[in-house]
Amino acid sequence: MGPTEPATATLLLSCRDQRGLVAAVASFIFEHGGNIIHADQHTDQQESYFLQRVEWQLDGFGLNREEIASAFRPIADRFDMTWRLSFSDRSARIAILVSKQAHCLYDLLARSRMGEVRAEIRVVVSNHPDLESIAADFGVEFHYLPVTPDTRAEQEASLSTLLNRQAIEVVVLARYMQILSPSFVESYANRIINIHHSFLPAFAGAKPYHQAHERGVKVIGATAHYVTGELDAGPIIEQDVARVSHRDNVTDLARKGRDLETIVLARAVHRHLENRIVVYGNKTVVFD
């Protein structure tokens, strides 16, 4: 949100499809004097499931922001909605987890400095010390938490303590090459965004560029997704591809893939921060 743009509220909601949903939400906003500036919805006909994003101006709205959730709750309960309320003038607090690859970290920090990432990047955490100087260049706190099979549980506990102390709301895995425990993932459900260097579900797991080269693919891809307990299988947020040929070796694929990874991860983080994603089951709807 630019410095002169008026603050807005956004509702993201989902529930079983039923009569009166759109009218109920629109009436709630209208009855309190709200001016809707964006509204979008989708019905999954196969699942009979309804999803909606509605955004309205807070200026002139008859409820202050502390009252909106409690006032809307009876409507949500009536339709058995899963819902979330957010405000455009509030910046989320982000932690970036990395290993040795620097490209996604550089890109997110640069976008943040230019004002493209509407969030506070509070801390960078890595299982290697290599990227500390990059965080320092951007004035971001860096923590080195080396992980081995023997220290994994202890270091993840240290990571949780660090993120809690920083009141982190969103965790971005910018080529963090470690598997997080189910309990950690659950504590940040639908708030951990990972970039995987393939067009999932193809070539999940380790060394996807090697796998792609062995199969002689003609396109490579990158996938940003929410992290779940199953490796590289969480709800997909964003994907993109680039053409390759028989002339490209694994190094060429990785080089071309890095460009995709930065773009795809940045788009996914942006859409999450703009409150444009609704997760249902193991799928997402990403509203424009």
Task: Tell me the per-residue pLDDT of 124-145, one tens digit each, with 9 for 90 and over.
Answer: 999 999 999 999 999 999 999 9
Cα–Cα distance measured from residue 171 to residue 188, given in angstroms and rounded to the nearest whole number: 8
Cα–Cα distance measured from residue 52 to residue 41, given in angstroms and rounded to the nearest whole number: 4
Domain that holds residue 52: 8-87
Residue 29 dihedral angles phi and psi, to the nearest 5°:
-70, -45
pLDDT at 4: 65
Same domain, 103 and 208: yes
Catalytic site includes residue 232: yes
pLDDT at 199: 85
Same domain, 101 and 238: yes
Q: What is the CATH number of the domain that holds 42?
A: 3.30.70.260
Specify the length of the chain in residues.
Answer: 288
pLDDT at 188: 97
Same domain, 160 and 175: yes
Task: From 87, 114, 140, give the residue that closes a domain.
Answer: 87
Q: Output the six-digit token pair for 144.
A: 């080195």
pLDDT at 3: 52
Asked whether residue 66 is domain-assigned, the answer is yes
Q: What is the pTM of this model?
A: 0.93
Task: From 56, 87, 118, give the residue that closes a domain.
Answer: 87
pLDDT at 211: 87
- What dihedral angle (degrees, nearest 10) is formed by the CA atoms of 71, 34, 11, 43? 110
Structural domains counted in the chain: 2
- For residue 82, the one-letter residue type is T
Same domain, 207 and 260: yes
Percent of the chain with pLDDT over 90: 85
Identified catalytic residue from 40, 130, 137, 232: 232
Asked whether residue 3 is domain-assigned, the answer is no
Residue 222 dihedral angles phi and psi, to the nearest 5°:
-140, 150
Same domain, 39 and 101: no
Q: What is the CATH number of the domain that holds 256?
A: 3.40.50.170
**Which regions in the chain score pLDDT beneath 50?**
none
Same domain, 151 and 76: no
Same domain, 169 and 224: yes
Task: From 87, 105, 127, give the residue that closes a domain.
Answer: 87
